[in-house]
Amino acid sequence: MSETGGTVRPQPEIRQETEFFWTSGRDGRLRFQTCTACRALIHPPEPVCRHCRGHETGVGEVSGFATLIGFTVNHRFPFPGLPCPFVVAQVAIEEDPRVRLTTNVVGCAPEDLRIGMRMEVVFEQAGEAWLPLFRPCAEQPPPAPLPEDPPVARHLRPALSGVRFEDRAVISGTGTSRIGRRLMVPPLDLTVEACEKAVADAGLTLDDIDGLCTYPGGGAYGGFAEGGVTALESALGIRPVWHNGAGETPGPGGSVIAAMLAVAGGLARHVLCFRTVWEATYGELVRQGRISVPRRADAEGWFKPFGAVSPAVMLAMNAQRHMHRYGTTRETLGWIALNQRANAARHPDAIYRDPLTMDDYLTARTVTTPFGLYDCDVPCDASVAVVVSAAETAPDLPGPPVRVEAVGTQIVERPEWDQSTLTHEPQVLGQAAHLWTRTDLRPADVDLALLYDGFTFNCLSWIEALGFCGIGEARDFLDGGKNIAPDGPLPLNPHGGQLSHGRTHGMGLLHEAVLQLRGQAGQRQVAGARTAVVSSGGLTPSGVLLLRTDA
Residue pair 452/459 in contact by the 8 Å Cβ criterion: yes
d(CA 383, CA 461): 26
d(CA 65, CA 136): 10
Q: Which residues contact 431 (CB under 8 A, 6 or more apart)?
A: 250, 408, 409, 410, 411, 412, 465, 535, 542, 543, 544
3-state secondary structure at position 269:
coil
pTM value?
Answer: 0.94
Residue pair 478/332 in contact by the 8 Å Cβ criterion: yes
Residue pair 332/479 in contact by the 8 Å Cβ criterion: yes
Element (H, E) at 336: helix 330-344
List per-residue pLDDT tens for the chain, 551 residues long. Answer: 354 444 678 888 889 999 999 999 999 999 999 999 999 999 999 999 999 999 999 999 999 999 999 999 999 998 888 989 999 999 999 999 999 999 999 999 999 999 999 999 999 999 999 999 999 999 999 999 999 888 898 889 888 877 899 999 999 999 999 999 989 998 999 999 999 999 999 999 999 999 999 998 887 677 777 778 999 999 999 999 999 998 888 988 899 999 999 999 999 999 999 999 888 888 788 888 887 766 554 445 899 899 998 999 999 999 999 999 999 999 999 999 999 999 999 999 999 999 999 999 999 999 999 999 999 999 999 999 999 999 999 988 898 899 999 999 999 999 899 999 999 999 999 999 999 999 999 999 999 999 999 999 999 999 999 999 999 999 999 999 999 999 999 999 999 999 999 999 889 999 999 999 999 999 999 999 999 999 988 777 899 999 999 87
